[in-house]
Amino acid sequence: MPTSYSAGPALSIRDVGKSYNVANRRATMLAESLAEWVSRARGGSAKSEKFWALQEVSCEVAHGEILGLVGRNGAGKSTLLKIIAGVTSPTTGEVDVFGRIGSMLEVGTGFHPELTGRENVFLNGAFIGMRRSEIRARFDEIVEFSGVESFLDVPIKRYSSGMAVRLAFSVAAHLDADILLVDEVLAVGDQAFQDKCLGKIRDVRQREGRTVLFVSHNLAAVASLCTRALLLSAGRVIADASASEITRLYSAGVAMATTTDEVDLTPLPRNKRSAAQCTAIQVSAVDELGVPLDSIMPGATVQVTVTVTATGSVSRAFLGVEIMDERGRPAIGISTDMADGWISLDAGQSKRVTVRLIDVQVRPGVYTVGLILTTVSERLDGLDAVVRFEVMPSPDAGYDRWPGWMAAAYAPRFEVSIG
């Protein structure tokens, strides 16, 4: 069983930051590629800039607490868990861990397709830090929880993806750890198994007194499971409050708007020191003359108009627009610099940036829009799910030809105007 602690935090995170060096730009001509190759051969390096995945993150987590981490994709949630787990080191700051860590960061990592389910229980258990004696002692519980008893001596390569995930989660959930890190494990599996996973996570806290850090886009699960939550945006903690308050703040930017409504973004939490922010958004389907239509259907031209307001001087900024499906998976992603849509503003000035997405090929359903405002060297603003819209079924049908979502967002043909 986990160790008992009478006082002090389970985790102490102090001013943690994590940066990565990323290429400033790709070579687009043969001469540039040769120049970069010669530079590397002479001991030089290609031009790069730092991207900060996390900045100045600080918090303490008490023993027995379930802390939720909420934010858009890319907010830094998974990076923070990997630093706590020791998978990667922070660039700045320190993390003190008081107890044994158990990780469910990438459920199923370490499974071998040629080995049976039984063999993979021992392999995966060893991979996540379980001793062989622990695995043997809890083997029956692991198998019973997974529900794959009938296939235990079948090679994993013959399992469905859901069966493999059930077994992997079951192994990880039965690790005797003081602190459990859980990253999006509820994004897979059927509803019954997801409910079972939630019950297990709740059980390890209530009956066994473990500390849990829980990352999920399922806000209902965060609100019901967690005692407290952090809201992250652009690598920073912008709110630390009760789970219900954090999910309310996050959902405040997911207001259902009609196709002609403009949504005010000024109440949403963000970095107040930025020189420019996105202050309003409007999403609609338009006809060939730009007149708004009553509904959005597959194949429509979708117009996203964002008001950008500056408090300081901004030169050559660009706007990224990301459209996600209702499960938080990328569907469309574009950036105005791809169409030479650069934004320059004086202090106090506002401009309307209109992105017209032409022939949007997605299935009917509910989608959300996220925004990123940045220059080449500085991220100015980032908002997740600021508005939600619905794509209605078209009489033409034929949706089986279109993916409901894609592994990475695709960029349809688009036009940008700034005024």
Kindly report the CATH number assigned to the domain that includes residue 245. Answer: 3.40.50.300
pLDDT at 404 over 90: no
Examine the domain organization and report whether 410 and 301 are in the same domain: yes
Give the residue numbers spanning the domain of 51: 1-100+177-185+200-252
pLDDT for residue 189 is more than 70: no
- pLDDT number for residue 302: 93
| CB-count exposure of residue 114 (10 Å: 0-12, 13-18, 19+) | exposed
Q: What is the pLDDT of residue 231?
A: 87
Residue 97's pLDDT band (boundaries 50, 70, 90)?
Answer: very high
195 in a structural domain = no
Q: Which DSSP symbol is given to 382?
A: E
- The whole-number average pLDDT for the span 158-173 is 80
Mapped onto helix, strand or coil, the DSSP state of residue 287 is coil
Per-residue model confidence as pLDDT tens digits over 191-232: 677 777 777 777 776 666 788 898 887 787 888 888 899 988
CA-CA distances (angstroms) from residue 296 to 65, 195, 411? 44, 34, 18
Highest mean pLDDT among 119-123, 259-263, 304-308: 304-308
CA 265, 266, 267, 271 dihedral sign is positive
- Both structure tokens of 171: 């192994």
One-letter identity of residue 190: D
Distance CA 156, CA 158 (A): 5
pLDDT digits (tens, 9 = 90+) for 68-87: 998 877 788 889 999 998 88
CATH number, residue 132: 1.10.8
- Predicted local distance difference test score (pLDDT) of residue 327: 63
Q: Are residues 245 and 262 in the same domain?
A: no
pLDDT category at 252 given cuts 50, 70, 90 is: low
Residue 192 lies in a domain: no
In a domain, 193, yes or no: no
Are residues 43 and 92 both part of a single domain? yes
Q: Are 240 and 67 in contact (CB under 8 A)?
A: no
- Tokens linked to 57: 């993150």
Radius of gyration for the chain, computed over Cα atoms and rounded to the nearest angstrom: 24
Q: If you ran DSSP here, which 8-state letter would residue 28 be given? A: -
Block residue for tokens 């980032």: 382
Query: Across all residues in the chain, what is the average pLDDT?
Result: 80
Confidence (pLDDT) at 29: 44
212 plus 127 within the same structural domain? no
Q: Is residue 191 part of a domain?
A: no
The residues near 207 (Cβ < 8 Å, ≥ 6 apart) are none
**Span of 20-29, 142-151, 180-189, 358-367 with lowest mean pLDDT:** 20-29
More confident residue, 392 or 27: 392
Whether pLDDT at 15 is above 90: yes
- How many of the other CB atoms lie within 10 Å of CB of 196? 19
Overall average pLDDT of the 113-131 stretch: 85
Q: 3-state DSSP call for residue 31? A: helix
Together in a domain, 40 and 95: yes
Helix axes 132-146, 161-173, angle to 10 degrees: 130
How many structural domains does the chain have?
Answer: 3
Regarding whether 305 and 385 lie in a shared domain, the answer is yes
Same domain, 90 and 137: no
In terms of domains, do 77 and 127 share one? no
Q: Which residues of 49-69 are buried (b: 16+ CB within 10 A; e: fewer)?
A: eeebbbbebebebebbbbbbb
